[in-house]
Structures are given as structure tokens and as C-alpha cells.
Amino acid sequence: MLTGKLLKVASLVLVAMAFAPSFASADQAEAQSTNQAEISQNVIYIIQGETSALDGKESENDFLEFHAITYELPWNVSSVYTSVPTDARNVTVLSGFQVLNNSEYGRVTTGAFAGSYKINVPSWHVRTATVSNTTNNSQSFGVPQAEFVNTTHTSGYLALQSGNSTGLYTSRWYSAEDSLTILSANLSWSGLNLENSSAWISNDNGTTWVSCPSNSTEVEFPANGTELRIMFELRGNTTAGSDARISGFTVTATSLLLKTSFPLHITYRWTSTFTGGMVSFNLTEPLPYSSSASSVVMLYLVRGFNATGHNMDLLYDRNGSLEDDENKDIYLNMSSRSGYVSISVDISAPPEQTNWALFMIIGAVIILAPLVIYFIRRQSTGGPEEQSATGTAESGHETGETLSLEDYEKRRAELVARKKALMADMESIKEGVASGKLSKADSEKNLVELKSEFKRTRNELNRIDRRRADVADGSGDDMFDVEIEEQYEAALTSLARIDDDFERGRLPEGTYKSLRKQYLEKAADLRAERSKSRFASLDPLDQEKVKLMEAIVALDEEHDLGKMDEKVYQDLRSSYKAELTEIMRKIEQQEKGG
């Protein structure tokens, strides 16, 4: 029966396409159609420079975007459109946290949506709704729209009136709201002498009737309709007691919805060059917003950079910055939108960077030119025979080459030593500020640079430890497990980020709940896929940290499903978070000690 439903949905779409006017392209046809997708929710996170969501050495010219957008999708629309920078890389598109194949999306080069990103709606997107209704008492049988012919409801049964051998009962009609048509229905009924009963179902308020071949059998409708009715025929001898009696019936209808909610999560990275100390981003969507749409734009900029919104006001969050190692200033816009809205943002570099950037570049070229020529000549004659330990370890990571255990141990020792040195430098600066020997302004800038290098060192050390464990146990460089682990950690980081944003009042409650539910589902799916062997190779403190983070995710899942008392939930979550804070403190101490 499911196949039949899908075929009918497909046939309806084909009929709509057949009667639609012909245009130069499918994109143009959809652009000119009044029946197009609209945006109901749009959440954009743009992060400049380094971030805990990535393991890398991102510069101030590098940007990462998390884009959560939800469309109101008409039943016959097969694709949606959004804006993605032309130089975007590592583009990933998810719907319901199922990763879409890259053949299902891409940039449009011609037509009304040229330059936009087109995303095809996957075949597994659910466009139907199922609703059940039960009739089992005198009130529900006897509603005003019901019709009795030689039948009545008495003593808990729909039965023949005394002296009649046949009779009919027609139920009230049930309207399938917000649906194009009722595709099918399943009718089950209970009572006495049911072999002397027959049933029919209609989806057009009784104009066309379809016979139910047996009790609890799915019936498909040949015509379109949105008003469901049930008809029973009762037969038998009331005196002999062979007459059919129906105590109740339940009908479950499946309808094709006029519109469905279609959520997408899009992530990508891109690099922009600051021209004249400024770079601009166009955040205009190619599709319109619905009449009650919500929009959130959040910019996490490297401290000192400024943002100016066009056709939107950006609030600078002076007192709500993220944890220290992010080193970000936050700009926020929350708005209600409708129709086509053009918005953009300008990001300005700090004045000193703008004024001196050109002179620094010229100076660097003058100083480095002889060295560049020297190394080019050395490379053309064979170059150095040995690489540095840093180059060896990093090339092994970037190219996927599996290094020896000895190489990993050597690189790890270097990283541990560097971490100790960085920690010592940071402590020295803090002590200097406290004693008044160092100025706070200069020290803050140095601390930012040291913390940034410390994070890069820590991230590389984590990668080295994972790969070293693979080599030690002979499992090799299992990039799939590494990818799952990183995705899982990113999902947990995203959960923490939106929790923080909601608690600080940056996200509206509806948007927060929607995003949180989706990230919880993603974390649960990734948790199920994670490799047990990789988890076993973690440091005991890291294992405890992961367990606590998973416990918080599982706790939130139970709470969101309504399976947990609110007070119990709050108490447990506070306890878990306190334990997690303590574990993180111990891990930090361990890292300081190497």
C-alpha cells in the first residue's frame, strides 16, 4: 500500500507539471510559480578566525558558517534555494541530520536563480500526515451530521431497529485540514455478528464510495477529496439475534499535506580578502520569507573587528562574550521578516590593521624576497634532505600518511614541551600584570596570541594521541572513526553554544527549542556510531568527560520526550554539569603538567 501512495503522490506531481505553463527552464518555472517554498525560520552563525569547532590554523580572513533554515514546502515543489558564497568550500547539507548526497545540491548557473544554491528535496522527506478517529459511544455515533436508516444506537451498540432486516448508518464527515487530498484510509470495527455487516469509505463526503474488502484493510481512493465519511450496512434478524451490532469503529486516514516543514542545516567555510580594511557579505535569500518568519543572525568576530548591518540592526553584545579561548566579539540581530528581504553585513578590520596592512606587506616582500629566491634555488637543486619534526607530523596528518610510532612519540614530546612553555609564558604575563610590572593593554594582546597558539598545540596533540593509539594497536589510520568522533564532538559543542546563547537571551525560545531538538537527534545518532575501540584508547579523564557529556545529552532527550519530572531533570543536569566542570579542571591541570 505504501508503494501505491507514493505512486499517487508522484502522479499528482506529474499532473501539476503537465498543466503548468512551459518556461525556458525548470528553475525559471519555479521562480514564476506562486506555489513556491517560503522561509519560516532562518538562523545564521558566522564565525571569523579560529574556533573550537575546527581543528586548524584559521586566519582572520577565514570564516565558518552554520546555517539552519526551515522552509514551508508546498506539496508539488521539489527543490529549494539559498545563498552560499561563490568561494565556499567543504559544503555539507543535512536534512533531519541525514547527510544529502552532493549530487542533490549545487550552484545554479542559468535562469531566475542563477548564482543561488539549489537543493533537491530528498525522496524520503515525508509529505503526508496520518490522523485517527474513534467512534464508540452514543454521543459520537449520534452527532448531527450522522444519518440513521432503519438503525439506532442502543445499549452500547449501533444496531438495526426492531423488525428490520437491513439498515444503513453513515457517519459524520471528518475534514482533513491543510491537505490536498486523503490518499487512503484503514477502517476497523468491532461488535457482534460482524459477518452480517459491510463497510464503505468515502473521501469526498459520500459522492464516491469505496468498499472495504475486510476489517482493518487499507483502502486507497481513486479520486481526490478531503472529507472522509464511513458507511455501514447492517443485516440480520433482530428477533433471532443474528443481526449485526457494532460497538465502535476506528478510522485512520493518510493525507497528502498542502505544505510541510523542510529543515536544512548547511555548513561551509570560505576565505575573504579585506579590501580597504573591509569585507562585505550578502545574506539575502533568493526565496521569500513567510508572513510570520523569524530570522537570527549572529556574528562571532575576532576581537577588534566591527560589523555594520544593512537593512538590519546589529546589537553588539558587550557583556556576553563566549569563553576566553574564543576571543570573539558578538553581533546579533533577531527580527521578524516577510516577503523578499535584502540584507547584508560589512565587517571592518581594526584601524591599525587597515592603516598599516599595505606597509607591512611591502616590507615583508622586501625582506623576504631574497630568502624566497634562495629557497627556490635550493629546491631546484634537490633541497634539504630532512624535514623538521613539525613538517613531518603535519604532513602525515594532512595527507593521511600513517607515520611510525616513533615519529608520533617524537612529535608528541615536542608538543607537550611547547604546551608547558606556553603555560609558563601565560602565567608569567598574569603575574606581571598582577604585580604592576606589565601593562594590562599590552599583556591582553600577548595573552590572546598565546592562548591561540595553545589551542592549536592542544588540538594537534589530541590528533597525535588518537593516531598514535591507532598505530600502537595495529588498527591503522581509520579516518572514518576520526570523522565520526569529530562530528560527535562538534555536535556537543553546538549544543553547548546554543544553550549559552539561549541563556543569555540571544536566541528566541521557539528557535532555541527547534535547533536543540535537531542537535540532540544528531548527537544521539553519532553516539550510536562511535567506535568502542577508539573510546577505549582515550585517557581515563577524557573517557569520563565523554561519558558525562553523553549523559547530559541522554538526559535532555528523556526530558524533551516528557519522560522525566522537571525537578528531577534540573537536579540531575546541574549535578552532571558540576561533575563535568570538575573533570575539565582536572584535564586542564593534567595538560599543564604534560
CATH number where 150 lies: 2.60.120
d(C-alpha 394, C-alpha 415), whole Å = 12
Q: Which helix (H) or strand (E) holds 514?
A: helix 509-529
Query: Contact 81/287 with Cβ under 8 angstroms?
Result: yes
- SS3 assignment for 559-578: HHCCCCCHHHHHHHHHHHHH
Residue 488 is predicted with a pLDDT of 67
Amino acid at 400: G
Cell of 355: 592603516
In a domain, 154, yes or no: yes
Report the candidate in 491, 555, 559 with the shortest Cα–Cα distance to residue 526.
Answer: 491
In a domain, 381, yes or no: no
Q: Over range 555-579, report the average pLDDT.
A: 77
Candidate ranges 61-70, 355-364, 510-519, 568-577; pick with highest mean pLDDT: 61-70
In this predicted structure, what is the pLDDT of residue 181? Answer: 94
Within 33-86, residue ranges assigned H as helices are none
Q: Which amino acid is at 173?
A: W
Highest-confidence segment of 218-222, 387-391, 582-586: 218-222
Higher pLDDT, 391 or 175: 175
Helix (H) or strand (E) run with residue 157 in it: strand 157-160
Closest C-alpha to 278, from 306, 238, 236, 250 = 306
Number of domains in the chain: 2
Which is nearest to 199 in space by CA: 190, 207, 210? 210
C-alpha to C-alpha distances, 589 to 133, 161, 195, 270, 594, nearest whole angstrom: 61, 85, 78, 35, 9
- Gyration radius of the chain over CA positions: 32
Q: Residue 53's closest CA among 87, 27, 92, 12? A: 92
Read off the C-alpha cell for 362. 611591502
Residue 319: pLDDT band with limits 50, 70, 90: low
Domain carrying residue 253: 128-259
pLDDT at 134 over 60: yes
Instruction: Note the pLDDT tens digit of each residue in 402-458.
Output: 566 677 778 878 888 887 888 888 888 888 887 888 887 777 778 777 877 877 777
C-alpha–C-alpha distance, residues 379 and 381, integer Å: 5
The answer as to whether 290 is a domain residue is no
Assess if residue 264 is contained within a domain.
no
Q: 229, 259, 289: which is the final residue of a domain?
A: 259
Are 256 and 10 spatial neighbours (Cβ–Cβ below 8 Å)? Answer: no
Question: What per-residue confidence (pLDDT) applies to 202?
Answer: 95
Q: What is the largest CA-CA distance in the chain?
A: 114
CA 337, CA 350: separation in Å to the nearest integer? Answer: 32
Provide the grid cell at 183: 490518499
Closest alpha carbon to 485 in 439, 529, 423, 446? 529
Dihedral sign (CA 406, 409, 412, 418): negative
Backbone angle region of 426, left / alpha / beta, with phi > 0 → left and psi within -120 to 50 → alpha: alpha
Among 220, 244, 259, the domain-final residue is 259
Most confident of 4-18, 107-121, 353-367: 107-121
The mean pLDDT of 464-481, rounded to a whole number, is 53
Residue 423 domain flag: yes
CA of residue 360 relative to chain centroid, distance: 42
Domain contains 435: yes
Query: Average per-residue pLDDT in the chain?
Result: 77
- Within-domain flag for 144: yes
Q: For residue 456, give the C-alpha cell.
A: 592549536
577 is a domain residue: yes
Q: Do residues 341 and 284 lie in contact, with contact meaning Cβ atoms separated by under 8 Å?
A: yes
Mind giving me the DSSP string for 247-296?
Answer: EEEEEEEEEEESEEEEEEEEEEEEE---BTTEEEEE---SS-EEEEEEEE
- φ and ψ at 539, to 5 degrees? -60, 145
Confidence of residue 541 (pLDDT cuts 50, 70, 90): confident
Q: Report the alpha-carbon distance of residue 444 to residue 148 in Å, rounded.
A: 85
Q: How far apart are CA 319 and CA 316, in angstroms?
A: 9
**Last residue within a domain, chosen from 237, 259, 281:** 259
Q: Using one digit for the tens of pLDDT, what is the confidence trace for 483-532? A: 566 666 667 767 777 777 777 666 777 777 777 777 777 777 766 665 44
pLDDT attached to residue 402? 53
CB 591 within 8 Å of CB 460: no
pLDDT at 499: 75
